[in-house]
Structure 1
Amino acid sequence: MRALLLLCFVSLSCFANQDSKFLHLSPEIKAGPQYGTGITGWGMQLGLADVYQTNSLYFNGGQVKYEFLTDTDKWKFYRLGVEHRLVKEEVISFQFELGVIDYEGERRFFTRKETREGVGFSSAGAVVFNFTPSLGVRFGLDVNVLDKDKTYQTSSTFINVNSGVIFRF
């Protein structure tokens, strides 16, 4: 799998604009999915800058873990995303991502433990404020959809708020 990702990264680098920044790197933190949970997850965007007439083309992966009373929910997400800068306003750009979510849930009672697992749809969007060509910040939302019967969440759709810093090298 690592070899395939490396091959895709190298092949896409041929399309990158050689006069500008090459690497897109953005760590992120996530809050949610329930009120009062605080910082519950992390993620990392890694990709190429200035590819196919976009600001960045990247892979985003990470996880969120949430514990409440008897329930422990953990999901990992894997998404492909694109960042596109506005034509008239170069300071602001938008990101959009699509991918999958892998859910694992556990409910503990006094003497027994139940588990649920499932795979669902994951998407995200963010607004990016570019301070310089090499530095920006982003704020956005993740929307994850999973079959209600495969989760301990009260809804089949759960949303996280995220923020991150973007570095371009």
Structure 2
Amino acid sequence: MRVSKMKKLHLVLAIATLFSANTFANNIHLSPEVKIGPYGGFGIQAGVTDALGFDAAYLSYGRTVYSSSTYDETIDSYRFGVQHMFGASQIHGLQLEVGFADYDGKKTSKSETTKERALGSSIGASYVFQATDQLGLRAGVDLNYFPMSDTYIPYDLATNFNLGMTFTF
């Protein structure tokens, strides 16, 4: 099952709502990341700071890919996240994200090819170290859940680690 037009419309509306909150926010939050683990890939967070009672609120998109002689798999994740900074100096923080993931897989063995598609849930968490007012470093983990029977993933969870930077401007 692919992300339907209705779900894409909901995502666009969520983005518009989040950025309309910019009138109450001070800055833009932007954070690219590299995903490492069994699935390699990339991700991006885009949102605003000082929104919804958090230090940042953002939408997150990630794509991870696994490719071998037998399997070609892609997971796209779409999540909403928040960031909260701790302590008097506000240099340590935590990000939490929740949303859904879209799996697309293909298995080729001998001359036979089969395909699997699934929609699942997705969560993420990251530690943030705010190096300067404009630059932060982050490291975290993503968990995408799909029923094992709907994918070629050998477990119900597809786990990846991520390393990224946060930019505030």
Matched-pair contact (CA < 8 Å) for 1:15–1:52? no
Q: Structure 1 residue 3: deviation in Å?
A: 5.9
Q: Structure 1 residue 24: deviation in Å?
A: 0.3
Return the alpha-carbon distance in structure 2 between the equivalents of residues 57 and 168 of structure 1: 12
Residue number among 1, 13, 17 corresponding to 2:22 in the alignment: 13
Residue number among 34, 54, 71 corresponding to 1:29 in the alignment: 34
Q: Which sections of structure 2, spanning at least 5 residues, go unmatched?
A: 1-8
Matched-pair contact (CA < 8 Å) for 2:18–2:58? no
Length-normalised TM-score, structure 1: 0.88
Find the counterpart in structure 2 of residue 37 from structure 1: none
Question: For the aligned residues, what is the CA RMSD?
Answer: 1.6
One-letter amino acid of the counterpart of residue 86, structure 1: F
1:167 aligns with 2:161: no
5 Å-filtered alignment, 1:29-48, equals 29-33=34-38, 40-48=40-48
5 Å-filtered alignment, 1:31-70, equals 31-33=36-38, 40-70=40-70
Q: Structure 1 residue 89: deviation in Å?
A: 4.6
Q: Which runs of 4+ in 1 moved over 3 A?
A: none
Change in Cα spacing, 1:6 to 1:121, as seen in structure 2 (3 Å) is closer
Name the % identity: 31
Aligned length: 160
Return the alpha-carbon distance in structure 2 between the equivalents of residues 86 and 79 of structure 1: 23
Length-normalised TM-score, structure 2: 0.88
> For 2:110, what is the secondary structure of its paired residue?
coil
Structure having the higher helix fraction is 2
5 Å-filtered alignment, 1:1-169, equals 1=9, 4-5=13-14, 7-16=16-25, 18=26, 22-33=27-38, 40-169=40-169
Q: Which sections of structure 1, spanning at least 5 residues, go unmatched?
A: 35-39
Cα offsets for 1:81-103 (capped at 9, x unmatched): 00001143511000000000000
- The farther-off stretch of 81-90 and 134-143 is 81-90
